A and B are shown apart, each in its own frame.
Chain A
Amino acid sequence: MTDQLAEKPTSAPEPERFPLVFGLDTFGDRNGDADGKPVSHAQTIRNVVAEGVRAEQVGIDFFGIGEHHTDYFPMPAGDVVLAAIAARTNRIHLGSAVTVLSSDDPVRVFQRYSTLNAISGGRAEVILGRGSSIESFPLFGYDLADYEELFEEKSALFAELLKGGPVTWQGTTRPALYDQDVVPHTESGPFPVWIGVGGNPQSVIRAARLGFGLALAIIGGQPARFAAFSQLFQRALAKFGRPPLPVAVHSPGHIAHTDDQARAEFWPRWRDIISLVAAERGFAIPTEESLGWETGPHGALYVGSPETVAQKIALNLRALQATRFDLKYGMPGLTHEALMTNIELYGQEVIPRVRELLAPATAGSASSGSA
């Protein structure tokens, strides 16, 4: 079978249609210092700029910033931070992960990211969604109960804005637009837009209907259960008369030189943040056992040595027919130094290893271990 693939590369399975892409996402997780004391919001933001620049240097394809509005994720204006990274890089793609569109104005989001696209020479992307972020709703005067309606209408308007021409639009969530020229224009058509989906199949259908990529946010439980979502996405695209689009996976993790070190660094930080959220929202506090399950072969977290993490990424990209993996690195309290090591190991060891594991076998690399 491998020989067949080598002779007939055009018969590659559907996921091979898109190039493999590897990214990093952060929520601006507030760093700790060596003594475990939190550093300032401002220093954390400057550290994120340095991390984004380092990501390009070690060969990472994408750097994403998720919108949050809390003391432990002080990152409400990720596009500003991305602009700073854009000015110091040349190749890496830069985007939101995610933009909480329901509590934002699609016109402003388009303007900010088309500006980023201009600064970066065409490297901007946007992932639309909610994430687990809910703070923006009360902050900007929106009702969480309206979430669905807001997202439905605003994502459709965003798709219109992305086309580039003057926009005429009417709805209930923002003032109408009449033949409105929205600037700045992009130089080479729409930038890539994705919808982040956390387990609602109707969101998968919506991404297909709007022609946006599908970003599966898998933060707990078995990743393999999302395989049917990839299938659903491609079938829905076909139904709407659209060409196939790529599927991305976004999951949290932490990479260190050894499995033990990665676990030791990650566990107390993960426990603290999940406990905090658990207390706010009334769900169970994680145990070291539950972390063990999530970091094991069937769980959603990518915590370990480069080899451990690479094997798991390769396994799940295959299972999910996905061609992009974005590692949500960092946790509040981890040091900037630990994050830089994580980034370097991801770029220099994990990504090449995953590419090797996923390469279609050829005569020259039959022993590369790709299975």
Chain B
Amino acid sequence: MPQLAVLGAGHVGPVVARLAISAGYPVAIATSGDPANLALITELLIPGAEPRWAADAVADADMVVLAMPLHRFLRVDPVSLAGRFVIDAMNYWPSSDGVLEEFEDGGVGSSEIVAKRLAGSAVVKALNHIGYHELEQNARPTGSPDRRAAGSAGDDPAAVAVVAEFVDRIGYDAVRLPSLAAGQVLQPGGPVFGRVLRRPEFEQAVASDQATARTPVFAEAQSGQDVLT
């Protein structure tokens, strides 16, 4: 099992950490501060996770989940994440979080900008389009008829495969998208953001967005393909 480091202990981080622990992943969680401040939160909300300094958590991790507000990400040292699979669960959401100049680039997805800053990492956009309050209550075992679909978008197919497996193990039908550019469909305002969709509906929503939009989305082999189990 890949070792996971969750960066952020706000709304999203603890929920992702809990799901990952249930799925059997070893999980460290960190904020920008002293892990001692996370001791109670970890003990009561994320039993099994290890609170650590961010640098230590990342150093030992195979996969890093970015679950911090996007403006905080701008303070992360890109070198520390080099060589890791990185799940970008963040959103650029100016109407909710304010305008960030770095992300005001029309037509370029927020994860593409994240990836540009993390040149040494394999960035995959995932889990950003599911509300933190729904992440646990919508998770279902493989094969459940009402299992919700969740996108994994990235430029590196190996990284997308690893993240898609993670997404599947924590309870979602992983739909792979072949590039971070294609992952723009997962963003706020996109056709699947915040919507509870099963795989066929999810793929249809993505495909009909593709018909009108800027970026080709599905590589044929990706559509309907079973994820790793």
Q: Are B93 and A281 in contact (CB under 8 A)?
A: yes
Which residue on chain A has the smallest CB distance to residue B189?
A282
B113 CB–A CB distance under 8 Å: no
Quick check: is A280 within 8 A (CB to CB) of the other chain? yes
Please name the residue on chain B nearest to A226 by beta carbon.
B133
Interface-forming stretch among B36-44, B54-62, B117-125?
B36-44
Tell me which residues from 110 to 169 in chain B have a Cβ below 8 Å from any Cβ of chain A.
131-134, 136-137
Q: Is the Cβ of B95 less than 8 Å from the Cβ of A134?
A: yes
Interface residues on chain A, size class: 20 to 34
CB atoms of A281 and B10 under 8 A apart:
no
Contact B134 A201 (CB under 8 A): no
A351 to chain B, nearest CB (A): 27
Q: A221 touching B133 by the CB < 8 A rule?
A: yes
B31-52 interface code vs A (CB 8 A; 1 in, 0 out) = 1000001001100110000000
* Interface stretch of the complex, out of A174-182, A232-240, A317-325, A337-345: A232-240
CB proximity to A under 8 Å, residues B182-208: 187-190, 193-196
Contact B97 A202 (CB under 8 A): no
Residues of B within 8 A of A198 (CB): 11
A199-B132, A225-B133, A232-B41 in contact; A144/B193 too (CB < 8 A)? no
Give the residue name and chain of the B residue nearest to A143 (CB).
Answer: B98
Question: Is B9 located at the chain interface by the 8 A CB criterion?
Answer: yes
CB of A144 within 8 A of CB of B97, answer yes
| Contact residue among A199, A225, A228, A231 (Cβ-Cβ distance under 8 Å from B137) | A225
Give the residue of A143, A232, A283 whose beta carbon is less than 8 angstroms from that of B44: A232
Residues 255-285 of A contacting B (Cβ, < 8 Å): 278, 280-284
User: Which one of A134, A202, A221, A290 lies within 8 Å of B41 (CB-CB)?
Assistant: A202
Return chain A residues, CB-CB under 8 Å to B98: 134, 137, 143-145, 147
B225 beta carbon closer than 8 Å to chain A: no
Minimum distance in angstroms from A116 CB to a CB of chain B: 30
Within A129-143, the residues touching B (CB, 8 Å) are 134, 137, 143
Cβ of A221 and Cβ of B134 under 8 Å apart? yes
Residue of B at shortest CB range from A137? Answer: B98
A29 CB → nearest B CB, Å: 20
Chain A, 112-150, CB within 8 A of any chain B CB: 134, 137, 143-145, 147-148
A interface: dominant SS:
helix
Judged by DSSP, the binding face of B is loop
Q: Is the CB of A205 within 8 A of B132?
A: no
- How many Å from the CB of A147 to the closest CB on chain B? 8
Instruction: Please measure, in the bound complex, the distance between the C-alpha atom of A368 and the C-alpha atom of B188, giving whole angstroms.
Output: 49
Q: Is the CB of A236 within 8 A of B40?
A: yes
**What is the minimal beta-carbon distance from B29 to any residue of chain A, in angstroms?**
11
A367 at the interface (CB under 8 A from B): no
Residues of chain B within 8 A of A298, CB atoms compared: 137
Instruction: Tell yes or no: A220 within 8 A of B by CB.
Output: yes
Question: What residues of chain A lie closer than 8 Å to B14, measured between beta carbons?
Answer: 201
- CA A201 to CA B29, docked complex, whole Å: 13
Given A200-B11, A201-B45, A205-B37, check contact A221 B131 (CB 8 Å): yes
Q: In the complex, which of the residues A134, A137, A284 contacts B194, with contact meaning CB atoms closer than 8 Å? A: A284
Return the contact of A282 from the options B45, B69, B193 (Cβ within 8 A). Answer: B193
Given contacts A145-B98, A202-B10, A281-B93, 6 further A-B contacts (CB under 8 A): A134-B96, A134-B98, A199-B11, A232-B45, A283-B188, A284-B193
Binding site for A on B (CB under 8 A): 9-11, 14, 31, 37, 40-41, 44-45, 69, 71, 93, 95-98, 100, 131-134, 136-137, 187-190, 193-196
Closest 6 CB pairs of A and B: A144-B98, A282-B189, A221-B133, A282-B188, A283-B194, A284-B194
